Amino acid sequence: MTDPHPQQSATPLVLLHAFPLTSAMWRGQLDGSLAGARVLAPDLRGFDGSPPPPGVPSLEHWVDDLARLLDAAGLERAVVGGLSMGGYLALAFARRHPDRLAGLLLADTKASADTEAARANRERIASAVLARRSVALLAEERMEDTLLGPDAGPRLLAEVRGMVAAADPRAVAWAQRAMAARGESFQVLAGLRVPVAVVVGERDAITPVTDDEAMVAALPAAELTVVAAAGHLSALEAPAAFNAAVLALLRRVD
Ligand code: MLT
């Protein structure tokens, strides 16, 4: 796990990217808009140009990577935030390292586990991309269309299409299997005693608003922001509204 975008300032915030993307999806957060925050936006192992972790695919490998990243940065605690797959990882980190969590940002994600049908679909994708040594299947199934809202526009669509096409097939397969293996996290949410913000695009077709409302219902205290008109990649599609929610969370942490 590498962090190509370290920024210096007071409040440490880690941003964990969605599948099958990289930290490039955080460009609207890494451009100085989150002034006052020290932002770390790692590329998860496998999506950073190196092979995915060895052994049985599990988000727990990335939890270890994240703990090592914080250690290397000299950070005992941080606000950990993730979008979709990044949110699954943030929840896994919260389960293993509650003492290292200063706050939690959950964006366009869910606390429920996969259904059997969803697991089977992930295995279908994993096997296909490995067999073909190509992620073309993701484009063939028009994955980028489901990542963005209907109003996103051709430039953003082309950008996301490029990001999807650049993913390493080994990482795509590994991540699908790791996500399939994850359990539900509602108990983790119920036990949290740090500020939490939940953000979701109003037009999110992958994790609809109801998934995020279910997380808010399980949390002792959380703020829900529904980003008007945005789809699944709300941080990329509507950075101003997304960043306002992040800055409000960082103020609550301070
Ligand atoms: C993501 O955006 O990270 C993925 O859609 C998550 C998933 O496949 O569950």
Per-residue pLDDT tens for 113-170? 999 999 999 999 999 999 999 999 998 988 888 999 999 999 999 999 999 999 999 9
Give Cα 35 to chain centroid, integer Å: 21
Measured from the Cα of 17, ligand 1's closest atom is: 3
Per-residue pLDDT tens for 205-224? 999 999 999 999 999 888 89
- Cis (ω within 30 of 0) for the bond into 20? yes
Nearest CA to ligand 1 atom 4: 19
Q: What angle do CA 52, 1, 100 make, to 5 degrees?
A: 120
User: Smallest Cα–Cα separation from 81: which of 254, 214, 242?
Assistant: 242
Q: Which of 15, 16, 17, 19 to mutate to test the pocket of ligand 1 (most atoms within 8 A of CB)?
A: 19
Q: Give the residue carrying structure tokens 């993913």.
A: 167
Which three-class secondary structure state does DSSP give residue 219?
coil
Q: Give the residue carrying structure tokens 């950990």.
A: 80
Nearest CA to ligand 1 atom 9: 85
Backbone angles phi, psi at 92, to 5 degrees: -65, -40
> Which fold, 11-113+183-253?
Rossmann fold (3.40.50)
Whether 84 lines ligand 1, by a CB cut-off of 6 Å, is yes
User: Smallest Cα–Cα separation from 22: which of 243, 178, 172?
Assistant: 172
Whether 167 lines ligand 1, by a CB cut-off of 6 Å, is no
pTM metric for this prediction: 0.95
Q: Which of 43, 85, 212 to mutate to test the pocket of ligand 1 (most atoms within 8 A of CB)?
A: 85
Residue 3's pLDDT band, with cuts at 50, 70 and 90, is low
CB 19 within 8 A of CB 44: no
